[in-house]
Structure 1
Amino acid sequence: MALPPDTRLGPYEIVGPLGGGAMGEVYRARDKRLGRDVAIKALPPAFAADPARLSRFRREAQTLASLNHPNIAAIYGLEEADGAPHLVLELVEGETLAARLARGALPQSEALALGIQIAGAIEAAHERGVVHRDLKPGNVMINPAGTAKVLDFGLAKSDPGPASGGALSDSPTLSGHPDATAAGVILGTAAYMSPEQARGKPVDRRSDVWSFGCVLFECFTGCPAFAGETVSDLIARILEREPDWSALPAGTSSRIREILRRCLRKNADERPRDIRDVRLELCDVASGGGKAAAGREKSIAVLPFENQSGADDEFFADGVTDEILNALAQVEGLRVAARASCFAFKGRREDLRAIGEKLDVTTVLEGTVRRAGPRLRITVQLANAADGYQLWSERYDREMTDVFAVQDEIAGAIATRLRGTMHAEADRSRARSGTKNLEAYELVLRGRALLIKRGRFMLQAITLFEKAIAIDPQYAEPLASLSDSYRLMGTFGVAPFAEVMSKSKALAERALVIDPRLVEAWATLAAVEEQYDRNYAQSDSLYARALELEPRNATTRAQWALWRVIRGVMTDEEGLAQLRRAVQDDPLNPWVGGMHSYLLGITGKHEESTVEAERSMGRDSESFFARWNLMRAHAWAG
C-alpha cells in the first residue's frame, strides 16, 4: 500500500511519491533532524515477510554502502519502521535519462558527457566487484547541472569473473515475476539485456558493457538499439540481429561508431573486458576526436560587431553584439559560442574557416554598427564557417529608439535561416529584464564594458549601473551587474567584505524578483552564499538553477566545480572533468582557463597547471588575473 503524504517513518516525513518498481516504492521525504529532503525506498510489509526479497533489499543497501562515486546516488542508511525496512537515499533532483530521451536524441557533446559519467559510475562499481545488471535510461538521473547519477542497484551482484561458468546460479531471465532471482527467471528491462542475460546464463561485468552500449546508442539516436512488440520478439532481435546502425546521425564519427559496435558484440568475449577502456576512449573523443560529428550540429559564433562611429561608441557596438548573442542563445537547437571566446577575435582579421575551427561552429555572424545622431545603421552577414561562403546579409536603417526591436529582428532572421525557434519563456524573460529607456540601456552597456576590465574600472562601472537603476528601477540587468560588481570587489579585497557581499546578495535577489531567468543573478547569488554566508546547500541549489537555465555558461560551471572541489564534496577528477567541459564550451575565455589552471595546481598537477596558465596568458596578456595565475603556477612547479 502506498504511503500517503505526512506519513512518519522515524525522523522522516513523506512528502510524496517519486516512483517505484518490483523491489519497493520510492518517496520524497523530509529529514526533520537535518532539515533536508531525501529519497526513501520502502519495502512493503508483505514483501518484508519474504526472506528472499528482504535479503535482496538488504544486499542493495550493502552494495550502495560500498560505493562512493559522484555519479552514483549515495545511501544514507538502512532503517526500519513498523516492521518494514526502508533505504534512506540521496535525493537527486532533475529528470531520468529516459524522460530526456523521450524528447529525442541528445547533441553529441551532451551524449558524450553523459556517457563518460555513466561509464565512470559503472567502472567504480566494477572496481568494487559489483555488476549492476539493470543499467537503462530509467535508472539514470540527470540533475539540473548536467551531472548523471546511476540509481537502483537492487539487482546488482558480485562479479564472478568472465571464466566463472555457472557461478551465478541466480542469473536473471524473463518470467512473470520480473524481480525474481533464480535460474530461468530474467531480471531487468529486456531492451537493455545482454544476449547472455537474455539466455539466462551467468553474467559478469561485460553484461554491463553491453547495457551501457545500448544506453549510449539511444543517447545518439533517440531510439532503442533493440525493440519488439513482444518480449519474445525483443529477445530474438537481441540474439540474432544488429542494431540499426543507419539510425546514427550522419556526422557521427567513426570512433564513436566503433565504440558502439564493440560494446554491442553478441559474444561477450569480443566486448571490452573493462568499461574503463570505453570511458577513456570516450574522453579522448570528447577532447578532440568527435569534432567531425559536432560539425553537423547547428552552431554559430557572433563576432564583435565593428564600430563605424567614433571611439566613444565602441561600447555601443559591443553591447549590440552582446544583445544579439544573448538572443541567439535562446534559439532552441542552436549552439552559440561563448562571449569570451567570440570577443577574443575583437579587432583581429582572421580567416572565417580558422575561426570556425577554433570555436567549433558551423556558421559565423559578423556585423557593423554606425550611429549618427538619432539614426542607427546595423549591417550583418551570416557565413558558412567551412568555406566562408555568405549565407545571408541584411542592412537595418532605423531610429535609435528602435535598437531593441532591431536586435530581436536580427536574431529572429538568423533563427529562421538556421531553422531554429526562439524559446518562448526566454523571450518573455528578455522582455522582463530589459528596458525601453535608451539612456538606461546605454549606461548598462558602458558599465559592462568597464566591469570586464576589472581593477579600478569597477568603481566607474558601479556608478553607471546605479544611474541606470535610478532611471528605471525595474530594469533587472543593471541590478544583476551591480550585484556582481560588489561581489567581485569583496572577492578581490578592494572593499569591506561583509558590507559589499550583503549588498550583492540583496541586489541579486531584487533582480530575480523582476526576472527569475536571469542567469547572472543566480550565479552571483550562489557565489555569495558560498563565500559569504557559507550556506553550501543553498549555494549548490542556486548553481544548479543557473546551470539548468544556461548549461553552457562556462564561467558558472567552472566556479561551481572549483568551489566544490575546495570544499571536498567533489573529487579532484570530477572537478577537473567539469573544468575541461567548461574550457571546451568557452575555449578562449582567460578566466575559465585560469580556474582550470588553479584546480590543476591545487590537485598536484603542476606541470599541466603551468601549461594552462600560459594558455590563459596568451588569451589575455593584459589580464591581472592571468598574470597572477601564471606566477602562482610557476611557484607550484618550483
Structure 2
Amino acid sequence: MTDSNPFAVMELLEGETLDQYLAKTQCNAATVRQIGAQIADALAVAHHAGVVHRDLKPQNIMVMQSGGTPIPKTTTTAASKNGSVALPITVKLFDFGLSRSERGLFEGDPGGRTSEGVVMGTPGYMAPEQARGETAGPAADIFALGCLLFEAFYGKRAFDGSTASARFASTLESTPETDPLRRRADIQLADLISECLNKEIAKRPTSADDIASRLRRRGPAVDPIEQQVEHGYGAGVFVRRRFFELVTGGALGGILGGLAMQYRTETLHDIDSLAVLSFTSMQGEPTRLASQAAGQPLGDQSIDRGDEIAVLLVNELSRLKDVNVTPFRPFVAHNRDEIQAIGRELDVDALVTGNLKTIRRGEKLFDEINLQIVSTRSGNLLWGKSFSTETGASLLEQSQLASQLAAAVGRSLTSSGDSESELNQGSFSCLVDGVGRADPDSPEGLRKALLCFQSAHRQDKGWAAPLGGIALTSITLAAQSTTEDSIALIQTARESAEEALKLDPDLANARLADAMLLWQTLYRYDEAARILNQLLLVEQNFWQVYHQLGLLELTRNNQAEALRLLSETTRRNTLSVIAKVGLARAYWFFGNTDRAIADAKRLRNAHPENRLARGLLIDLYEQTGDFGLAAAEHVGVDFGSKLTAETYYRIRQSVDLTEYPYGPFGTLLNKAILESRINGGIDDSELGTLADSTPPMLPLLLAGHPSFASAKRLPRAAEILPLTYSPFSSANE
C-alpha cells in the first residue's frame, strides 16, 4: 500500500497483440508451433487451477521477441516447408475478464456455470457450445486455440463473416476450408488444428498439456531437397544428341533463367507434387484438345504435339520416388489466377508449363521448347530454360527434358533416352501414347491405350514396359466391359503380366495387374494384399495401388483402412471421378447413405457428363425407394407422370445399362443389380452363373452391395468372399 491506498504491480508488456502481428507476418510452421505451444502452456496452468479463459482471441495475446523486447515494425518469417526458420518469440495471455475459477465448473456445480442460454465470448473464436449458450469448459478454450492456430497457419480466420451473426452461424454450421498446399508444410500441425476445431467436445484434444506437447514434438529438421539445391544440383548443362540449350537467338531462355534465379528460393526446394500442363504455341494459343476438353481424359481422340510432350514428361517424371506427379489431363493456364486455380484443383505445389514453335536455322527446321516451373501458391515463375531439337527428333530423345526438370527441383532422374538399355524409338512413342490414354475414367481411352501398348510390344518384344501396360489396362478395362470381352481381357491381362514379370520382376504396373487378378478373379485376397502393400513401400505415388488396396479392404470389410486408402486415392489423383465415386460408394456400403448421396450429388454436378457419378445416384435412390429422384437422373428418358416401383423398373429395363450403369462393374453385374431389385434377390443358381465368368467386381459387390444381401449368405458365396469376411452392417440391407 502507499498512502493507505492499495495498488497492484503488473508486468509491462512491450510488443503487439497477436492480431497486429499476424496482419504483417507470414508465419511458417515452426513459428505457429512456437506461438501455439506457449498459449497452450498458459491454458494448461489456468485449467489445472480450475480457470477457463472463455475469450481467447488474437487481441488477448501479446507477442514479443524473447527477452521482452518489442517486435520490429516489419516482421516476416519465411514460409519454410519444414518450419526450421523462426524468430524467438514470447507470447503472453491476458484479459481473463470472462473467465470462471469456481471448481464447480469442472465438477458439475451450478455455481460455476454460465447461465443456460447466456452467450459470452467473441464470435468467430468461441466454441459451438458457447455460441449455443451452454457450459464453457476447458474444451471451449481448446477450440479457441484451434481458431488462433488456424489463423496463424493458414493466414485467414477459421470462422469469418461480415457480422457477429454470420460468425455465429459459421461456427455452428461450417467447417473451415483449409489450403491443401499450405497443409503440406506441416501435416501433423494441420491435423492437430483440425482436431481442436472439432464441433464435438469429445473429439477435441483432451487437454492443453497434450496440445503443448504435440506442438513441441516435431523438432527442427534439415530438408534434404533444400540441401541439394544449396549444393548446386540442377545447374548442369544439358547437351546430348541433337539437344542443346539455346545460347544465341534465345532471349526468352535468358529471361527465364534470370527469373528462375530470382525466385528459386521461394518454393523450388519445397516441391513434392506437380502436374504438367498442355504445351502451347509460342504465341500462347491453347492446344486444340486443351481448349475443348480441359481436365477431361484424352480418351480416343488424336493427341496433338503440345499434349504429346506433356504426356511424355508425366511418363518420365512419374518415376521420381518422392514427387507425386498428377496423371495427365489437358489444361492450359494463361495467367496467374488460372495457374493458382488449376493448382488448387489438382492439389499440387507446382505446375510445369511450356510452349513450343518451329524455327528455321539455315536449311534445317528446329523445334524450340521453353520449359517453366511455376508456383501454384504465388503464381511466380520459379525456373525456366529454353531448349532446341531438330524437327523430327523422337520422343525418346526429348525425354531428356524430364532430367532437367528433375534437377531443377533437386532430384536426380535418368531419362529413358539416357538409360543404358537401347530402346526402340517407335515402341517408346507408342508407349507414351498409351500412358496418356490409360485413364480408368475413360473406357474409350483404355481401349485405345491397349492398342498403343500392343503396338509398342510388337516393335520391341524384349521390353517389359509395354507388356505391363497391356496387363494393367486389360484388367482395368475388363471391369467395365461386356461379359465376352471381359473374359478375353482377363486372359490377356494374365498372360501379359506373367510375361512382363519374367522380363522385369519389379515392374510396378505388371505387379499391380497381378494383384488385381489375384483378388478380383481368383479370390486370393491375402496374397494380393501382400503385393499391394509391398508396392506401396516402393511406389508411394502410384495412385492406382492405393485405389486397389482400398477396394480390397472394402471387400474384406476393414472399414477404417478402406476409407483411409480410398480417401488417399482421391488426394493423389484429384481428377479421377472413378476414385471419388468409389469412396462415396464405400461410405454407402458401410452404412452412411446420407454421406454417399451428398458426395454423389456433388460429383454429378461437377461432372454432369460422367456416367459413373449419375449411376451411383440412381443406385442409391433405387435402394432407398426414391424412384422419382432416380428417374430424374435419366436425362431424356420419360418415366411418365404416375411413377410406381413397378412402372419405374419396367422403363428402367428398357434403358441401356452402358449409358446409365450403376457403376464400373461391367454389363453382367450391372444387369444383376437391376434384376435382383426386380426379382427380390439373387439365388444360388444365379450366383453360380455370375461366378462362372469371373467378372472382376463380383467380390466387391457380393461383399457390400445391398442387392447382393441375400446372395452373400449362400454357401456358394463362401467360395468367393474372404475367409475372414463378416457380413457388413445391416444398415443397407
Superposition TM-score, scaled by structure 2 size: 0.43
- Report which of the two has the higher share of strand: 1
TM-score of the two chains, using structure 1 as the length reference: 0.48
Over alpha carbons, which structure has the higher Rg?
2
